[in-house]
Amino acid sequence: MKAMRRTLIRVMGALVLSAQASAATLTESDFLGDLPMVLTASRISQSPLDAPAPVTVLDREMIRASGFTEIHDLLRLVPGFQVAEWPQGSPVVVNHGLGDAHSRRLLVLVDGRSVYDPFWGGVDWQSLPVHMEDIERIEVVRGPNQASYGANAFQGVINIITRSPSTDTGIGVVTSVGKRGFGDYYARMAQNAGPVDWRLSLSSREISSFEDRGAKPAIWDETIRRKMLNAQFAYHPDTKQEWRLQIGLSRGDDNAGTTTEANKYPLHDRSADHNFLQLAWRNAYSPDSEVSLQYYHYDRKDREVYQKSNSVTTPTEWIPVDFNLDTRRDDLEFQQIHGFSDNVKGVWGIGLRRDEAKSPHYLYGLGTVSGNQWQVFGNMDWQISPAWLLHVGAMVENHYLADTQFSPRVALNYAIDPNHSIRISAGQGYRAPTLLEARSREVYPGGPASIADVGNWSVINLDSEQGTFGELGYVGRFPSVKLSVDARLFLDRYNKYIDSVSCNLEAMPNECPFAQPLGYVRPSWFGNRKAYYFYNSGDLEVYGGDLTLDWRHDVLGRFVFSTALTQINAGSMTDLDAEKSAPTHASSLLWTKTFAGGWNTSLGFYYMGYMKWPNDGDDQWAYHKLDLKIGKRFGKPGTDNEIAVTLQNVNDKHSEFDVYYEVERQAFVTLRLSL
């Protein structure tokens, strides 16, 4: 641990010394190029040099060069992030560990609106009504950000920013076809004329993300199918105002189950409908000031019903399985950004939200479970002098599963020169329990008045997870060599960490903190006597550092290299799996190059060290992943026409999340046409 700390400190020191040396020789002409502006760190548009938190931007060039066809895979390019395919649910994305099958500690936004699932936590990545071709860029805040976005931004924020109708006109078609029935078909149309801009996209895709190794008695089969619609309409009555309507619809029809133990896990269909609507109004009443009001609705319907039996050949007993789940969220938010002077700028706002969930399986006997919450937030930037920028922000939030909480943050940025900045920040925040953690009553009914088995059973009044964080960051740009650098050291301390533990419901005396529910009679062939409950397991700390180098060379092309070192100390926790929930070391490298004649190629290399996924997951052994894409542009200059071949997992198959399943090699051809 000490060696890792010394290494991180030496790297940061070397970067600062390089920045100081660069500042002594650069001229005014070197300052003309800008780093991309970011919105997500403080809700104010600002340079990463001035942001109060570390932000990674995955731009459209990186998205195209990666060859990825699913949004969650792009986060493999962000230092400190772990991504894994999970055969029985949505892919998993976490930041510096502490994740399981449901990424409850990351907030995901689409154009600034939360798509955090109120029941499970996290997000179903494959059901988001956003296609890869709809995305302009993704901003990732790589640390806690509750001061800007509240309880769910416990370990970071992912903001997926879609393409605007005003910048993406005309008709486009993208078709990808590959091995094992892979198909991805996308079409969009956009127009920018007069006071109304609009953009409409439709897509359909089918993919099998993994292969069963056959190491278990049950061999799982899973095929994901999604059909999506995404629509945006913008009305500009004058130069200051904008009305915006966004609609997203996603329909999922999947195959799941096993080909061997058909009595316990029969092949069956499951579906997921995911819909959203956002209506927003914005008035920019001065160059640095605006007010906005938005309403957002989200709903999701999961449908999965089948039957288990006691025999493959001559069943005599049947147990119905009903995983149906309905969730919805309604959200209203007002926000004002105001420039008080040339040196002071701030944002404040208030939000109201209502969540609902209903499930006969997960919320047995509870009907519709719902709750209301409100939040008030504010952030202020004060340019004390040309070199010093002070940021102060806070969120006051009342959550229906937690008390009123206060999440402050303070950051101080020192500009060595206009291209190099050092940031020191600290703050605290919390994460409220999800409905799964705090309200679940998961049962398998054995008949009209009996219960055959119990899963998650919430009986403990959970406290919110508490967190304090501190960070030293550096953002720099070296124009003479076209190099951008983003590095940081961090220390996050978490208290009252919420974890899941199993118990034997039939033990004498009972191991569980709750009695068998009325009517509990488990057939001998069904279940495993285990029930699960959530509890505040203890305190822990996560510390380390990460580094990103983005180098553009006129001859060699563009190189984006990211690496992260992470250490977790479980402290007072009795379950030490959390200490292994992040790899000590992980890195990625994306290279892309355009050649004469319209040819282009890109190479993605990803290394993930050993880690262990808690709860539903297993040991994940270290692996290397290599992707290759070769493309050829054609047609008139300025068009987006291209044909490309992409190879994924070129080097070898590897396991993610569950050792019994391997992420397959994949090869596909993509045709892109602009009409």
What is the per-residue pLDDT for 21?
A: 45
220 compared with 515, residue with greater pLDDT: 515
> Across residues 298-321, what is the average pLDDT?
90
Nearest to 205 by CA among 68, 74, 342, 306: 68
Q: Three-state DSSP class for 282?
A: strand
Nearest to 454 by CA among 519, 536, 367, 374: 519
> Across residues 290-295, what is the average pLDDT?
97
Nearest to 122 by CA among 80, 78, 153, 160: 153
pLDDT band at 313 (very low <50, low <70, confident <90, very high): confident
Nearest to 620 by CA among 628, 633, 610: 610
Nearest to 332 by CA among 352, 346, 350: 352
Report which residue type is found at 74.
L
Burial of 375 (C-beta count, 10 Å sphere; 0-12/13-18/19+): buried
Report which residue type is found at 495.
N
Average pLDDT over the chain reads 89
What is the per-residue pLDDT for 653?
A: 82
State what percent of residues in the chain have pLDDT above 70: 92
DSSP state of 418: T
Q: Three-state DSSP class for 495?
A: strand
What is the per-residue pLDDT for 11?
A: 47
> Across residues 624-646, what is the average pLDDT?
93
> Across residues 476-484, what is the average pLDDT?
96
Query: Per-residue pLDDT for 26 more than 50?
Result: no
Percentage helix, strand, coil, to 5, in the chain? 10, 55, 35
Q: Can you spell out the DSSP letters for 292-311?
A: EEEEEEEEEEEEEEEEEES-
Is the Cβ–Cβ distance between 300 and 328 less than 8 Å?
yes
Please write the tens of the pLDDT for every residue from 558-572.
999 999 999 999 887
Please write the tens of the pLDDT for every residue from 38-86.
999 999 999 999 999 999 999 999 999 999 999 999 999 999 999 998 7
> Across residues 455-477, what is the average pLDDT?
95
Joined tokens for residue 7: 């290494």
Nearest to 382 by CA among 418, 425, 411, 419: 411
Residue corresponding to tokens 């409908």: 273
Q: How many C-beta atoms surround the C-beta of residue 480 within 10 A? A: 10
Name the helix (H) or strand (E) containing 34: none
Report which residue type is found at 299.
D
Please write the tens of the pLDDT for every residue from 378-436.
999 999 999 999 999 999 999 999 989 999 999 999 999 999 999 999 999 999 999 99
Distance of alpha carbon 356 from the chain centroid: 22
Cβ-proximal residues to 182 (8 Å cutoff; 6+ apart), any chain: 176, 206, 207, 208, 666, 668
Cβ-proximal residues to 77 (8 Å cutoff; 6+ apart), any chain: 56, 58, 62, 66, 560, 562, 588, 590
Nearest to 430 by CA among 465, 400, 456: 465
The pTM for the full model equals: 0.93
Set out the domains of the chain in order of their start, with CATH numbers: 2-674 (2.40.170.20)
